[in-house]
A and B are shown apart, each in its own frame.
Chain A
Amino acid sequence: MNRPAVLARAAEDLCIALQVRVPKIRSLLLTGVECPGVEALAEQLQVALRSAGKDVALIRPGGRSEFVPEPLLDVANLRDAIAELAGTHIVIAVALDVAGPDAGPMLASVEGAVLVVRDQRTQSESLVRAVDRARNLGCGLVGAVLVEEDI
């Protein structure tokens, strides 16, 4: 199976899982834990959610989004900005790595986070630190996506 098909299938599974587990969630952070390919997965998730009839606002790494004129990370009150956007859309924010500078403000501003973990690559210590960081910033952990091959 090629890479887009693999990602699309995983995104569909993630979409279903989110609708079942957290049907009322309005803002979500998708962040990698020593795992590349998070942005591609988020794009596929956006497609899957739109296919399910949801309005989705994707906030790319750095806070860039087609829905706001300036990067959201530059906005003084990020939490309020995301909450406002979440009033009309399901906000999916992307932070490439949970240890990166994007992740902190995003974790503090969204309702829940999904960790993208690379099987046999992500170090256990990094995963535990990521979970601790999310919890310390008051972000609920929705679950994890296990990446078993390069994306």
Chain B
Amino acid sequence: MSVAGWSGFVARRWPILAILAAATLLLAFVPAAQAYTARGYSATGQIFISIAPSPATPSSTSPLTDAEDAARLLASDLTEVAGSRLMAVLVASYLRQHGVQSPSVTTLQQSTSATAAGSTLTLTVSNRNRMVALVGVQAELFELSHHLSSITGSRVAGLSTLRVIGVSGAVRAAARPILTDVVLRLILGLLVTFGVAVAWDYLDGSVRGSQEIARLVGVPILARVGR
């Protein structure tokens, strides 16, 4: 189409172009107005684990003679477990069980500290695909701690009790980059706008100009009104 053709197209379809472009701008910038709307979550939870040596285990056969040593060993073991891909698999599995489609666990950090009272495992789990309530995150972390219990309990020699005594969680909204959203929506919206206008123009069967009239019915244009 020539320049004149495009200018004619814009002149003909400017109302629909203007309306859709305005709608595009509105839809593109709505996310900017909701900059703090949570998209997904980042949850940090702490799992406190107390350890008690098995009373049935003779102390002479166990290298663990006090609770602090046991806790350090457990912390080391937890770190090993948590640092592996197994943790990510557990998280994803748990999310799937709770209805999250194709969970994307984008961040999984962990740290441990051990005291005489027990070990603390701190986990940070991020999932940008879904926002869940704090209660849900806490339940999620508790479930994770349960998995950890079953895993680590079998791995730590000389321990008969592995007890999760507390879970705490905090949710921090992880907003998507607003600029990316705006640009993507703008591009998509303008493409849709242009496509709709072109389709509208293509499907419109109205006559356009004297040449088309002459072509259709073969009569001359005797006069023009306007322009």
Q: Which residues of A contact B (CB under 8 A)?
A: 6-7, 10-11, 13-14, 17-18, 21, 37, 41, 114-115, 117, 119-125, 127-128, 131, 141-149, 151
**Given A6-B226, A120-B12, A147-B226, A127-B221 contact (CB < 8 Å):** no
What is the interface size of chain B, counting residues whose CB is below 8 A from a CB of the partner?
Answer: 20
Contact pick for B219, options A7, A10, A131, A148, CB 8 Å: A131
User: In the complex the two chains form, is B217's CB within 8 Å of A127's CB?
Assistant: yes
Question: Does B199 reach chain A (CB closer than 8 Å)?
Answer: no
Question: Does B1 reach chain A (CB closer than 8 Å)?
Answer: no
User: In the complex the two chains form, is A6's CB within 8 Å of B225's CB?
Assistant: yes
* A151→B225 CA distance, assembly (Å): 8
Interface of A is mostly: mixed
User: In the complex the two chains form, is A144's CB within 8 Å of B208's CB?
Assistant: no
A17 to chain B, nearest CB (A): 4
* A115→B224 CA distance, assembly (Å): 12
User: In the complex the two chains form, is A13's CB within 8 Å of B227's CB?
Assistant: no
Interface of B is mostly: mixed
**Given A143-B219, A146-B225, A148-B227, A127-B208 contact (CB < 8 Å):** no
Question: Does B222 reach chain A (CB closer than 8 Å)?
Answer: yes
User: In the complex the two chains form, is B222's CB within 8 Å of A142's CB?
Assistant: yes
Instruction: Beyond the given A121-B206, A143-B221, A146-B213, please list 16 additional residue pairs across the A-B interface where CB-CB is below 8 A.
Output: A10-B226, A13-B222, A13-B223, A37-B225, A119-B209, A120-B12, A125-B205, A127-B207, A131-B219, A142-B219, A143-B220, A143-B222, A146-B209, A146-B210, A146-B225, A147-B225
A110 to chain B, nearest CB (A): 15
B198 to chain A, nearest CB (A): 16
User: In the complex the two chains form, is A14's CB within 8 Å of B226's CB?
Assistant: no
Nearest residue in B to A41 (C-beta to C-beta)? B225
B207 to chain A, nearest CB (A): 5
Chain A residues, CB < 8 A from B216: 124, 127-128, 131
**Given A119-B209, A122-B206, A127-B207, A14-B217 contact (CB < 8 Å):** no
**Given A117-B213, A131-B217, A146-B213, A124-B223 contact (CB < 8 Å):** no
Nearest residue in B to A35 (C-beta to C-beta)? B225
Question: Does B80 reach chain A (CB closer than 8 Å)?
Answer: no
Q: Which 9 A-B pairs have the closest CB atoms?
A: A149-B226, A13-B223, A17-B222, A143-B222, A14-B223, A148-B226, A10-B225, A147-B225, A131-B217
User: In the complex the two chains form, is B220's CB within 8 Å of A21's CB?
Assistant: yes
* A11→B213 CA distance, assembly (Å): 19
Give chain B interface residues in 196-218, CB to chain A under 8 Å.
205-210, 212-213, 216-217
Question: 23 A-B contacts, Cβ less than 8 Å apart?
Answer: A10-B224, A114-B222, A121-B206, A123-B206, A124-B205, A124-B212, A127-B216, A128-B216, A131-B216, A131-B217, A142-B222, A143-B220, A144-B219, A146-B209, A146-B213, A146-B223, A146-B224, A148-B224, A148-B225, A149-B225, A149-B226, A149-B227, A151-B225
